[in-house]
C-alpha cells in the first residue's frame, strides 16, 4: 500500500527550520518515496493538523529485562512502551538472566522482538561472561547472532587489562565498547550523591568513581583505536574528559539521560527510592555541565537508560531498592517541554540527538526523513498537554521521578518500515 501523511510539519535537515509538507511511503518496501506538497494519491492517508513529523527516535540504552526479570518488564511491554514514546529502534542492555552473554540469548531477543513487531531491538551483549568481569565473551559469535555492541552495563569492568583486551578484540570486529563507568573501589556501597546522602544519613557515591573509569577507557580507546561509547554521563569532570578525548581524536561518543539533564540531587529531600539511579542525580553544577556538553556535541546523544523495577522493589527505600528509573515513554515530552519550550535547547538539536546522531554513531538505519530512507517516523503533538501519569504507561515499570509533571510533545503515531507500530490510545499487549 501507498500511504500519505498529510498536514504535518517536518524539520529541514539542513537548516533545522520547520516547514509544512506531506510524506508519501510504501508499507511493503518500508521506504519513503517522496516528501513534498504535490504527491501522488495514496491508498490511505493519515490526516494531521500541524503535528511534527520526525524521524523515528532511537534509544541506545534501555533495559528490557527479558529473559529473567519479566515482573519488571517483558519484551512485549518494553517494545510497546518504546513505540509509544516514538521510538522505532532501541538497543537493550545485557543485564538479563541469563545474562546476554551467548549467541543463543542474543538470537532469542532478536527473534522474539521481531515477532512482536513493535520497536526494533538491537541487543548489546556482555563484554565478560555473566558480567563477572573475568573471561571475555565470544564477541564474533555474539556479533553474528545480532549483537550491535558490547557492554557490561549495570557494572563497570573493574580490571584495566581486561578492558584493554576487550577493546583490542572489539576493534578487530568493529564493535563499539559501551561503558558503564564506575570504579567500585571509589563508589563502594554508596547509594546517592554525597550531599543528599549527608542529609539522609546514607552512604554517598563519589563522582570520581565515574570520571576515573572514563579517563582510563579513553586512554585505552586511544591505544586500541576502538570505538568507545560512554553511557549515562553525569558529572562535570566526565564531560571535560570526553571533550578532551574528542579533541585528541579518540573515537569516543557519549550519551546523557533526561534525568541527568533535568534533575539534581537537591530533589532528594526524603527517603524515596524513585530518585535512586546509577549514576546518581548529581549537583546542579554537574547538571549544567551535562547540558553544556549536550549543546556543544561532547555528549552526542540522548539515551533514556529506561530501567524498570517493580513497585515492591522500589518501596524498599533508598538504602535497599535497586537503582533505576523508567524513561522511554516520557523523554521527548519532558525534554521538549522543559528544554525546547524555554529556549534552552533548539528543537532540531534535541531531535538530532534522538535520531540522526545515534543512527550515525552506531550505523543504524533511520534518523532521517528523505526520499529513499526507511519509513521510520514519529508523529508528535506539541499542542496536547497533560500530566505524566505512571499508571497509564505501557511499560510495566512505573518508577519515574517525573509523575505529575505537566508536558506536551506526546507521540500520536509511530511508524516503522512503513508499518504503524503505535497509535495513541491503543490497548496494551498481553
Ligand atoms: N541505571 C540504573 O540505575 N540501573 C540500571 C543499570 C545501569 O544502567 O547501570 C538497571 O539495570 O536497573
Ligand atoms: Zn549503567
pLDDT tens readout for residues 228-250: 999 999 999 999 999 999 999 99
Compute, in angstroms, the gap from residue 192 CA to the centroid of ligand 1. Answer: 13
Q: pLDDT-derived band of residue 122, with 50, 70 and 90 as boundaries? A: very high
For residues 29 and 2, is the Cβ–Cβ distance under 8 A?
A: no
Same domain for 258 and 299: yes
Same domain for 411 and 342: no
Same domain for 215 and 77: yes
Same domain for 386 and 324: no
Residue 295, pLDDT > 90, answer yes
Q: Is 232 annotated as a binding residue?
A: yes
Question: pTM for this structure?
Answer: 0.98
Same domain for 396 and 357: no
Which atom of ligand 1 lies nearest, measured to the CA of 180? 9
- Is 428 domain-assigned? no
* Helices (H), ranges, 176-315: 184-187, 194-200, 208-224, 236-247, 258-262, 284-295, 311-314
- Is 78 domain-assigned? yes
Give the Cα separation of 204 and 82 in Å (integer): 32
Residue 430, pLDDT > 90, answer no
Q: Which of these three, 343, 362, 381, is where a domain ends? A: 362
Residue 318, pLDDT > 90, answer yes
Q: Whose CA is nearest to atom 2 of ligand 1?
A: 324
Ligand 1 lined by 300 (C-beta under 6 Å): no
Q: Is 180 annotated as a binding residue?
A: yes
Q: pLDDT-derived band of residue 278, with 50, 70 and 90 as boundaries? A: very high
- Is 429 domain-assigned? no
Q: Which of these three, 334, 362, 390, is where a domain ends? A: 362
Same domain for 355 and 256: yes
Q: Is 370 annotated as a binding residue?
A: no
Give the Cα separation of 148 and 131 in Å (integer): 17
Q: What is the 3-state secondary structure (H, E, C) of 29-62?
A: CCEEEEEECCCCCCCEEEECCCCEEEECEEEEEE
Rounded mean pLDDT, 48-61: 98
In the set 59, 108, 300, 305, the catalytic residue is 305
Give the Cα separation of 86 and 72 in Å (integer): 21
Same domain for 240 and 124: yes
- Is 367 domain-assigned? no
Same domain for 272 and 323: yes
Give the Cα separation of 61 and 135 in Å (integer): 24
Which atom of ligand 1 lies nearest, measured to the CA of 65? 11
Ligand with minimal distance to 192 CA: 1
Ligand with minimal distance to 178 CA: 2
Which atom of ligand 1 lies nearest, measured to the CA of 154? 9
Give the Cα separation of 77 and 393 in Å (integer): 9
pLDDT of residue 10: 98
pLDDT of residue 82: 99
pLDDT of residue 9: 98
Q: What is the 3-state secondary structure (H, E, C) of 7-30?
A: EEEEECCCCCCEEEEEEEEECCCC
Compute, in angstroms, the gap from residue 91 CA to the centroid of ligand 1. Answer: 14
3-state secondary structure of 256: strand
Rounded mean pLDDT, 256-262: 99
- Three cell numbers at 43? 491508498
Residue 349, pLDDT > 90, answer yes
For residues 25 and 40, is the Cβ–Cβ distance under 8 A?
A: no
Ligand 1 pocket, mutate which of 305, 321, 327, 328 (most atoms under 8 A from CB): 305
Residue 107, pLDDT > 90, answer yes
Give the domain range for residue 10: 2-53+372-423
Neighbour tally for 201: CB within 10 Å: 8
Same domain for 75 and 11: no
Compute, in angstroms, the gap from residue 277 CA to the centroid of ligand 1. Answer: 7
Ligand 1 lined by 183 (C-beta under 6 Å): no
Compute, in angstroms, the gap from residue 38 CA to the centroid of ligand 1. Answer: 48
Number of domains observed in the structure of the chain: 2
- Is 223 domain-assigned? yes
Q: Is 64 annotated as a binding residue?
A: yes
Q: Which of these three, 335, 362, 389, is where a domain ends? A: 362
Same domain for 265 and 387: no
Compute, in angstroms, the gap from residue 100 CA to the centroid of ligand 2. Answer: 15
Ligand 1 pocket, mutate which of 59, 63, 69, 151 (most atoms under 8 A from CB): 63
Rounded mean pLDDT, 281-286: 98
On the question of a cis peptide bond just before residue 67, with omega within 30 degrees of 0, the verdict is yes
Letter string b/e over residues 126-164, b meaning 16 or more CB atoms within 10 A of that residue's CB: bbbeebebeebbbbeebbebbbbbbbbbbbbbeeeebbb
pLDDT of residue 337: 98
CATH of the domain at 401: 2.30.40.10
Ligand 1 pocket, mutate which of 62, 181, 273, 278 (most atoms under 8 A from CB): 278
- For the question of residue 305 being annotated catalytic, the response is yes
**What residues contact residue 422 under an 8 Å CB cut-off, 6+ apart?**
80, 83, 84, 86, 118, 411, 413, 414
CATH of the domain at 258: 3.20.20.140
Rounded mean pLDDT, 362-376: 97
pLDDT of residue 149: 99
Same domain for 269 and 209: yes
pLDDT of residue 223: 98
Strand 120-125 to 87-92 pairing: parallel
- CA R_g for the chain: 21
DSSP letter (8 states) at residue 331 = H
Q: Is 399 annotated as a binding residue?
A: no
Give the Cα separation of 353 and 359 in Å (integer): 10
For residues 83 and 114, is the Cβ–Cβ distance under 8 A?
A: no
Q: Is 309 annotated as a binding residue?
A: yes
Ligand 1 lined by 2 (C-beta under 6 Å): no
Q: Whose CA is nearest to atom 3 of ligand 1?
A: 324
Same domain for 76 and 63: yes
Amino acid at each position: 500500500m501507498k500511504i500519505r501523511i498529510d498536514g504535518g510539519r517536518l524539520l529541514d535537515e539542513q537548516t533545522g527550520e520547520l516547514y509544512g509538507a506531506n510524506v508519501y511511503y510504501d508499507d511493503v518496501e518500508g521506504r519513503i518515496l517522496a516528501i513534498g506538497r504535490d504527491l501522488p494519491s495514496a491508498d490511505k492517508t493519515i490526516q494531521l493538523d500541524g503535528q511534527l513529523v520526525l524521524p523515528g527516535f532511537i534509544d541506545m540504552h534501555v533495559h528490557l529485562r527479558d529473559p529473567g526479570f519479566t515482573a519488571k518488564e517483558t519484551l512485549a511491554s518494553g517494545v510497546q512502551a518504546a513505540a509509544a514514546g516514538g521510538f522505532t529502534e532501541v538497543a537493550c542492555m545485557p543485564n538479563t538472566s541469563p545474562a546476554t552473554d551467548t549467541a543463543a540469548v542474543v538470537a532469542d531477543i532478536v527473534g522474539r522482538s521481531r515477532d512482536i513487531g513493535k520497536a526494533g531491538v538491537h541487543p548489546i551483549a556482555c563484554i565478560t561472561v555473566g558480567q563477572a568481569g573475568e573471561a571475555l565473551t565470544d564477541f564474533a559469535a555474539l556479533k553474528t547472532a545480532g549483537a550491535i555492541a558490547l557492554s557490561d552495563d549495570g557494572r563497570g569492568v573493574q580490571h584495566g587489562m581486561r578492558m584493554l583486551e576487550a577493546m583490542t578484540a572489539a576493534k578487530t570486529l568493529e564493535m563499539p565498547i559501551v561503558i558503564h563507568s564506575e570504579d567500585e573501589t571509589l563508589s563502594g556501597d554508596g547509594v546517592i550523591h554525597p550531599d543528599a546522602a549527608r542529609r539522609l544519613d546514607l552512604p554517598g557515591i563519589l563522582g570520581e568513581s565515574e570520571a576515573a573509569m572514563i579517563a582510563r577507557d579513553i586512554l585505552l580507546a586511544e591505544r586500541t583505536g576502538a570505538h568507545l561509547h560512554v553511557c549515562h554521563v553525569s558529572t562535570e569532570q566526565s564531560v571535560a574528559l570526553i571533550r578532551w578525548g574528542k579533541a585528541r581524536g579518540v573515537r569516543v561518543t557519549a550519551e546523557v539521560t533526561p534525568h541527568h539533564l533535568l534533575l539534581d540531587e537537591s530533589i532528594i529531600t526524603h527517603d524515596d527510592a524513585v530518585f535512586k539511579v546509577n549514576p546518581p542525580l548529581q549537583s546542579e553544577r554537574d547538571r549544567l555541565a551535562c547540558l553544556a556538553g549536550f549543546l556543544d556535541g561532547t555528549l552526542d546523544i540522548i539515551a533514556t537508560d529506561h530501567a524498570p523495577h517493580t513497585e515492591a522493589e522500589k518501596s524498599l527505600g533508598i538504602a535497599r531498592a535497586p537503582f533505576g528509573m523508567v524513561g522511554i515513554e516520557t523523554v521527548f515530552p519532558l525534554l521538549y517541554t522543559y528544554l525546547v519550550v524555554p529556549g534552552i535547547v533548539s528543537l532540531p538539536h534535541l531531535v538530532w540527538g534522538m535520531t540522526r546522531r545515534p543512527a550515525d554513531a552506531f550505523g543504524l538505519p533511520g534518523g532521517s526523513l528523505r526520499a529513499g530512507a526507511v519509513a521510520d517516523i514519529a508523529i508528535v503533538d506539541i499542542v496536547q498537554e497533560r500530566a505524566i501519569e505512571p499508571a497509564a504507561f505501557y511499560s510495566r515499570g512505573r518508577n519515574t521521578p517525573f509523575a505529575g509533571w505537566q508536558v506536551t510533545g506526546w507521540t500520536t503515531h509511530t511508524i516503522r518500515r512503513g508499518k504503524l507500530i503505535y497509535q495513541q490510545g491503543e490497548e496494551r499487549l498481553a
